[in-house]
Structure 1
Amino acid sequence: MQFRSLVAVAAAATVSLSALTAQAAEKPEELNFGIISTESTQNLKTIWEPFLADMEEQTGMEVKPFFATDYAGIIEAMRFGKVDIAWYGNKSAMEAVDRANGSIFAQTVDVEGNPGYWSLLVTHKDSALESVDDVLKCDGSLNFGYGDPNSTSGFLVPSYYVFAQNGVDPKDCFKTVRNANHETNLVAAANKQVDVSTNNTENLRRMQKTHPDMAKDVKVIWKSPLIPSDPIVWRNDLADPAKAEVIKFFMTYGRIGAQAELDEELKVLSDLGWAPFQPSSNAQLIPIRQLELFKNRAKIAGNENLSEQEKKDQIAEIDAQLDALKDLAAKQPKSAS
């Protein structure tokens, strides 16, 4: 999307939201910002604190970080009003939209300007594993590091593209399967604690900057199709004046201001692995919902406890949902490049 379009979106959103402030609650004094636990809290604090400090200064609201040990903790915190805004992966954002009264309003852009990122399978650089076929030999000899079940790149995407499409259940394929965050899985692969693990291009790039000696000990043996960039989600019942300030901040951060100020903001974003944000909506979850439905369809088809008629009925229901999503996707406007 062109710069002028982004500025227009920010301005239009600010005007439309500001028009509602007469009926809305007053702007809150503070915002709680949820941050998914892709790595250690200390590492996350280091790279997030400058961004949250700028957000606090520019919105006029105190911004408090809310860290949780897993994705579910952020989702539940938003559900019960303890988190106002959060950075999610697409899978966890889908849960937040469906269960925690959330809506997507912005999307991250990686530091290289990519419109998304990629899920990976990684192993130690000296491993004999070279491809998905090597991983799926399923002789019970390999230890596998899976992602958090609410992770898009660490769990949902490899579940579909690596396992469901090949008719493989990880529990039946590997010697051990353990779930952990991205950082833990990458460290485990580098230290030969697992034979292969899931990861993503954003986390690997960050590890190459923060722990280059460790990052050089892993190799990538599989790369997924493109995953939409991570969404930023707010609670639907966040006061309209707060939404106006927040959308203005996200759409102008690293884009509008004096050059020295812009340079500082772009450095903050770069440390997070990002370039300036783009506007987004719940529509970015359409391909993720399709992945989830495909995964469920495969489970039903392979469920020996269901009768053929039960399978037929449940698969027909999923196919109807997939058709509806396909129609919805076709109606979405194409983003300008």
Structure 2
Amino acid sequence: MTSPLPEIKPNVFQKKVQALLRMMARRVFALLWGCVLAGLVGFLLALPAQAAGASNEAPLRFGILPLGGAFESRNDWEPLLADLSRAIGRPVSVLSVNSYEALEKAIEHDQVDMAFLSGKMALDAVTQRRMNVVAQVTRHDGLPGYRALLLARKTGPRSTLKDLLAEPERWRLARGESRSVSGFIVPQLQLFLPNHIAMETRFASEVVGTHQATALAVANGEADVATNNTADFERFSLQFPAEAERLQVIWESELIPHAQIVVRREYSPEFQKKVQAFLVEYARSKGPRGDAERAVLKSLHDLAGFVPADNSSLLPAAKLAYQLARQSAMSAQWINEAARQARLQRIENGYAEQTAALRSNAP
């Protein structure tokens, strides 16, 4: 005879069922939550790939004139270039170098798509390296340009322009590179060559470097006279007040047009217009955003902003280069007068072609 099943009290049975249901509920919840987490993780991991797909173009490579240290220049420009990147929907990388020559070589080898250049370098970029001017910088003083300077110590045996011009052989020179408008071209053209002094050969010694380096060389007694310019000397005075206090300006040039922003001609006219619009509108708005952008520009050599420009804005730079070439040809030694005249004619023809191309805005 089969034994009867043990009697189970209802409350005990209910408890076991409830426990079983709670266990099943926890497993179902864990399964569902795992699916949710997996989906969320997958979504988050996909975001970088989607962002990369949205900006899969190569970075726009921006070259900067060495107007101080390369690291300092990079730091000054990065906030503006980050804003440019957001405006054009494309990453922007920075090429900050220690010399004009290094930047020129980078442009020559197609390693720069857009650049901040002045005078001769901007002129060469447009006439020889397939680039176009899209904007020109402005400063808070409202002047259409800046001036080249000569700096000397306030005290000592070599401290006046008269002494410099009388005996350049006794002075140690600190100057900019030969491509620098205010550091070489303008002082050579407007002061030294008219006084029959060639900067490269008449001084006791020379140091070649940035405007910051040349000013420091004179302030620290390593040179007697330095080329510089009004904008960079103002900046130098803020960064090195003790050294600036030792210096004085003994000569200044006529106004030199401000620097330009150039873009490679391979980029579409629409893209160049977009870049130009960003620059021209930058720091023009009111409110916190405009204030932040104006602070960025102030750190960039006290810039006030940008104005639209085209290749014709380089006509003054072309004239300076022409005048320097002509002055150099006139003062050089030639085997005969016919050779001199032939050189002068080539200079005239080249200048005529260059100015015509700049005026047509399609060199």
TM-score, normalised to structure 2, is: 0.77
Contact residue 76 and residue 100 of structure 1 kept, 8 A: no
CA distance, structure 1, for counterparts of residue 308 and residue 192 of structure 2: 33
Q: Counterpart amino acid of 1:269? A: L
Q: 2:249 pairs with 214, 220, 235, which one? A: 220
Specify whether residues 30 and 241 from structure 1 end up closer, same or farther in structure 2 by C-alpha distance, changes over 3 A only: farther
Is 2:205 the counterpart of 1:204?
no
Question: 2:292 — aligned with what?
Answer: 264
Structure 1 residue 181, shift from structure 2 partner: 1.2
Tell me whether 1:289 sits opposite 2:318 in the alignment. Answer: yes
The partner residue of 1:65 within 84, 88, 94 is 94
Cα deviation for residue 66 of structure 1 reads 0.5
Q: Does 1:114 align with 2:163?
A: no
**How far apart, CA to CA, are the structure 1 residues paired with 2:168 and 2:229?**
26
Asked if 1:136 corresponds to 2:165, the answer is yes
User: Structure 1 residues 170 and 191, CA, compared in 2 at 3 Å: closer, same or farther?
Assistant: same
Uncovered stretches (5+) of structure 1, i.e. residues with no partner: 1-25, 333-337
Aligned partners of 1:177, 1:161: CA distance in 2, in Å? 19
- Aligned pair in 2 of structure 1 residues 290, 241: CA closer, same or farther (>3 Å)? closer
Cα 1:97/1:324, change in 2 over 3 Å: closer
In the alignment, is the contact (CA less than 8 A) between 1:85 and 1:235 conserved in 2? yes
Query: How has the CA–CA distance of structure 1 residues 327 and 32 changed in structure 2, closer, same or farther, with 3 Å as cutoff?
Result: closer
- 3-state SS of 2:320 partner: helix
Output the CA distance in 1 between the equivalents of 2:84 and 2:156: 44
Find the counterpart in structure 1 of residue 52 from structure 2: none
Paired letter, 1:94: L
- 1:200 deviation in Å? 0.7
Question: Hey, what's the Cα distance between the residues in 2 that align with 1:120 and 1:64?
Answer: 33
Q: Give CA-to-partner distance per residue, 1:135-194, whole Å, 9 cap, x none.
A: 212352110011111111111111101112222112442111232111110111111210
Q: Aligned pair count?
A: 305
Deviation larger for 292-301 or 144-153: 292-301
Higher RCO (CA < 8 A, seq sep 6+): 1
Q: Which residue of 2 aligns with 1:192?
A: 221
Between Structure 1 and Structure 2, the one with more helix by share is: 2
Is 305-314 or 191-200 further displaced after alignment?
305-314
Question: 2:45: which partner in 1?
Answer: none
Superposition deviation, residue 211 in structure 1: 2.3
Alpha-carbon offset, residue 205 of structure 1: 1.3
Matching residue within 63, 84, 88 for 1:55: 84
Is the CA contact (8 Å cut-off) linking 2:134 and 2:272 kept in structure 1?
Answer: no
1:79 and 1:40 map into 2 onto residues whose CA distance is: 22
What amino acid maps onto 1:260 in structure 2? P
Q: CA RMSD, aligned part only?
A: 2.4
CA offset digits 1:67-125 (Å, max 9, x no partner)? 12212222222233221110112111112122221111111111322211111101122
In 2, Cα distance between equivalents of 1:298 and 1:120: 20
Q: What is residue 167 of structure 1 aligned with on the other side? A: 196
Q: 1:95 to 1:321 in 2, by over 3 A?
A: closer
Task: Tell me which amino acid in the other structure corresponds to 2:276.
Answer: I
Higher-Rg structure is 2
Q: TM-score, normalised by structure 1?
A: 0.83
Structure 1 SS opposite 2:169: coil
Letter in 2 for 1:308: E
The alignment partner of 1:153 has SS state of helix
Q: Please tell me whether the aligned partners of residues 87 and 232 of structure 1 are also in contact (alpha carbons under 8 angstroms).
A: yes
